[in-house]
Amino acid sequence: MPELPLLSVDGLSKFYGARLGCIDVGFDLYPGEVLAIVGESGSGKSTLLSLLSGRLAPSAGRIRYRMRDGELRNVLGLTEAERRLLMRTDWGFVHQDPAQGLRMAVSAGANVGERLMAVGQRHYGDIRATATDWLGRVEIDSDRIDDAPRAFSGGMRQRLQIARNLVTHPRLVFMDEPTGGLDVSVQARLLDLLRGLVDDLGLSVVIVTHDLAVARLISHRLMVMRQGRVIEAGLTDQVLDDPREPYTQLLVSSVLQV
């Protein structure tokens, strides 16, 4: 029996008055698959990610998600309570700036533990033990569990944000430039960590990145956007090694600043 898509998107569009955010985007995302969205600044990739993750309402189109009971439901038709539950349990969102995805004034352990409490866990010892385990999984020493994120480096904050998102074992994670603004060596370490976690947990991921090297390292499929439209899509290596569209060829040859 063929595998069924986890996320199915049809005719997704967003208009800001006369200005176009994105138009007529459609794709299927399968369990365990990583999809990278690339394009120059203003191409519509960030708008698309905001639409997919429920942070922005579309002007047209449909986003369907396969719930744990196997039913493919229209995300836009969910009640507010259903949508909040989905975002606390089955979905995660990793921001480029980890300060947007963390509570900076509370401890690292509390940042991870809050997500567990949001899904109903109440036993303090169990929550702290799970938080400690996850800090270790993202390469943060357990003796930093009571430190606030303000005391962490940028790379450590990003790893903490990842732990906060993954502790509830979501099936779909959205990532917005997760390595942006980090030093090259820190980027490489974070990418290795992300790739390992994605494989170990069987995560589906939609990642927006300006860096084609990041896309090649972490994604199975690639969508190239320009002026709000998907102009090329396919297997990542295939698109990057043999791009069909002149615009994609320019991106690959680094003629365009993305």
Domains, the chain, ordered by start: 30-59+79-90+170-258 (3.40.50.300), 99-169 (no CATH)
Which DSSP helix (H) or strand (E) runs through 19? Answer: strand 19-29
CA distance 112 to 130: 9
Of all residues in the chain, the percent with pLDDT exceeding 90 is 80
Mean pLDDT on 134-141 = 95
CA–CA gap between residue 202 and residue 196 (Å, rounded): 10
Is beta strand 91-94 parallel, antiparallel or unpaired with respect to 72-74? unpaired
Structure tokens at 2: 């063929």
Q: Give 239's Cβ-side CA count (13 Å radius).
A: 27
pLDDT tens-digit series, residues 3-33: 899 999 999 999 988 788 999 999 999 999 9
The answer to whether the CB of 94 falls within 8 A of the CB of 165 is yes
Mean pLDDT value across residues 43-59 = 95
User: What is the pLDDT averaged over residues 55-76?
Assistant: 95
Rounded to 10°, the helix 154-166/184-201 angle is 10
| Mean pLDDT, the chain, whole residue set | 93
pTM of the predicted structure, to 2 decimals: 0.94
Query: Quick one: average pLDDT of 138-157?
Result: 95
Confidence of residue 2 (pLDDT cuts 50, 70, 90): low
**Bridge partners for 233 per DSSP:** 223
Q: Say if CB 58 and CB 14 are below 8 A apart.
A: yes
Is the model's pLDDT at 1 over the cut of 50?
no
Q: Among all chains, which residue has been given the structure tokens 């690959």? A: 252
* pLDDT grade for 257, boundaries at 50, 70 and 90: very low
Please choose, from the candidates 10, 29, 13, 12, the residue with its C-alpha nearest in 3D space to the C-alpha of residue 21. Answer: 13
The pLDDT tens digits for 190-235 are 999 999 999 999 999 999 998 899 999 999 999 999 999 999 999 9
Q: State the distance between the two ends of the chain, measured CA to CA, in whole angstroms.
A: 40
As a whole number of angstroms, the distance between CA 71 and CA 77 comes to 14
Q: Report the alpha-carbon distance of residue 47 to residue 25 in Å, rounded.
A: 11
